[in-house]
Structure 1
């Protein structure tokens, strides 16, 4: 069964992950986000009890 022979495919997988990790990932992470998250203060909601008409 040639599918179970990891000889050619393992080296291809390692080379592709090294290429991705060393070349493409730093280039992708260096981009500046066009919409950075804003620091907002959390707002507290006021809970009002519901008045049921039958009680």
Structure 2
């Protein structure tokens, strides 16, 4: 993403990010060629696959 998008769309959430991750993101956008060194967890997929038409409510 562009540095402008980073500033307006990501940076407002810095309070909920771990300090080392926030610092690394700033370095990545400010220092040309900076590499990400933090371990990034893979995307999690749900263990149970629900049919998109299934409605879960209080009866379940």
TM over 0.5: no
Higher RCO by CA contacts (8 Å cutoff, separation 6 or greater): 2
TM superposition score category, shorter chain reference: under 0.3
Q: What TM-score results when the alignment is normalised by the length of structure 1?
A: 0.25
